């Protein structure tokens, strides 16, 4: 069995797959220890191999790797930056600066679409990347995601305070808010809607209607009504991870 990890800035997304790629289990955790416990709790064999992508520091990622080797004695392959892979060229001036989660998600998107695509990932940050039909990465955009927008408002004001349950309830509609929680949650959601619609405009001016829009990341669900044509692929980073780190 293979342990797959996407180590983001706030959470670790994990899953365990068999060699035939069928999924045994998976989830989202916020600490290395919680990851080890979740994998230990899976019925069946422990994974012998691991492939991972991380946007954390080298030290944090090494620390996680050491903990996994200690717990499971597995071998680890890490996704690395590349100038080109699987028919896609990295569009950054300095290819190593492109976030590896973005690189893998756009590799996965191009692989699935086999034509021009835009890949939007809604996590701690929101990112968007453009790939032409020829596999040329044209670059992309980075902006704050829902968790960062909320927290900036909470941190830099004195009277914006509310709990998680009321935040969830506030999104039952996108009408003008009649309480702080509604005003903030709906306002930030509409910022994301606006962002995504502008990405669509850019894609249309480049390619007409001849492209696929992919949406991934923990907050992908906030968008599906605005862009019903989008393909929501929650595991897009894992699609790219398998391409970048093949385990024969
Ligand atoms: N089960 C879940 N656990 C945690 N967050 C979740 C879950 N489902 C949806 N989310 C939402 O997903 C967002 C986090 O996104 P995601 O997990 O894709 O990225 P991340 O690890 O925080 O950061 P990165 O963008 O660096 O990968 C949060 O806003 C959170 O509300
Ligand atoms: C933008 C994030 C934080 C999204 O997870 C990550 O891809 C990252 O740290 N990127 C490095 C900066 C860049 O992609 O230009
Ligand atoms: K991510």
- 150-160 pLDDT, tens per residue? 999 999 999 99
CA 152 to ligand 1 center in whole angstroms = 17
Is residue 102's pLDDT more than 80? yes
The answer to whether 99 is annotated as binding is yes
- Per-residue confidence at 210, pLDDT binned at 50, 70, 90? very high
Pull the structure tokens for residue 4: 């797959």
Are 26 and 41 in contact by the 8 Å Cβ rule? The answer is no
**What does the mean pLDDT of the chain come to?**
96
Ligand nearest to the CA of 145: 1
User: Catalytic annotation on 163?
Assistant: no
The answer to whether 163 is annotated as binding is no
Is residue 248's pLDDT more than 80? no
Residue nearest to atom 7 of ligand 1 (CA): 218
Ligand 1 contact via 7 beta carbon (within 6 Å):
no
Ligand 1 contact via 148 beta carbon (within 6 Å):
no
CA 219 to ligand 3 center in whole angstroms = 10
Ligand 1 contact via 8 beta carbon (within 6 Å):
yes
- CA–CA distance, 196 with 200 (Å, rounded to integer): 6
For the four alpha carbons of 235, 239, 245 and 248, in that order, the dihedral sign comes to: positive
- Give the start-end residues of each E strand in 60-217: 75-78, 84-85, 88-89, 117-122, 125-131, 137-144, 212-216
The mean pLDDT value for 216-245 works out to: 95
- 27-77 pLDDT, tens per residue? 999 999 999 999 999 988 899 999 999 999 999 999 999 999 999 999 999
CA 220 to ligand 1 center in whole angstroms = 9
The mean pLDDT value for 197-213 works out to: 98
pLDDT value at position 84?
98
Give 41's contacts (C-beta < 8 A, 6+ positions apart): none
- Per-residue confidence at 141, pLDDT binned at 50, 70, 90? very high
The answer to whether 127 is annotated as binding is no
- CA–CA distance, 66 with 33 (Å, rounded to integer): 12
Ligand nearest to the CA of 100: 2
Are 233 and 215 in contact by the 8 Å Cβ rule? The answer is yes
pLDDT value at position 130?
99
pLDDT value at position 67?
98
CA 125 to ligand 2 center in whole angstroms = 8
pLDDT value at position 152?
96
Alpha carbon distances (Å) from 29 to 8, 38, 67: 10, 8, 15
Are 180 and 160 in contact by the 8 Å Cβ rule? The answer is yes
| 177 Cα distance to chain centroid | 29
* Per annotation, catalytic residue among 20, 101, 129, 219: 101
Give 39's contacts (C-beta < 8 A, 6+ positions apart): 3, 14, 16, 46, 47, 71, 72
The answer to whether 100 is annotated as binding is yes
Q: Which residues line the pocket of ligand 2, CB cutoff 6 A?
A: 8-9, 55, 97-99, 101-102, 123, 125, 127, 142
Pairing of strands 231-232, 49-54: unpaired
């Amino acid at each position: 069995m293979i342990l797959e990890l996407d180590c983001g800035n706030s959470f670790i997304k994990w899953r365990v797959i068999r060699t035939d790629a069928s999924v045994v289990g998976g989830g989202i955790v916020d600490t290395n220890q919680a990851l080890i416990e979740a994998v230990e709790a899976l019925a069946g064999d422990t994974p012998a191999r691991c492939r991972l992508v991380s946007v954390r520091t080298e030290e944090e990622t090494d620390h996680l790797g050491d903990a996994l080797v200690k717990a499971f004695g597995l071998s680890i392959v890490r996704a690395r930056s590349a100038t080109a892979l699987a028919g896609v060229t990295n569009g950054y001036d300095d290819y190593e600066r492109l976030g590896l989660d973005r690189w893998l998600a756009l590799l996965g998107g191009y692989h699935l679409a086999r034509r021009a695509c835009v890949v939007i990932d809604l996590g701690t940050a929101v990112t968007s990347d453009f790939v032409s039909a020829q596999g040329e990465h044209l670059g992309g955009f980075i902006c704050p995601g829902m968790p960062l927008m909320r927290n900036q408002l909470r941190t830099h004001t004195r009277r914006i305070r509310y709990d998680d349950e009321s935040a969830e309830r506030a999104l039952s509609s996108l009408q003008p808010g009649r309480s702080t929680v509604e005003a903030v949650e709906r306002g930030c959601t509409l910022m994301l809607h606006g962002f995504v619609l502008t990405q669509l405009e850019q894609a249309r001016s480049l390619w007409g209607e001849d492209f696929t829009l992919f949406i991934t990341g923990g907050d992908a669900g906030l968008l599906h009504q605005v862009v019903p044509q989008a393909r929501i692929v929650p595991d897009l980073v894992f699609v790219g991870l398998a391409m970048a780190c093949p385990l024969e």
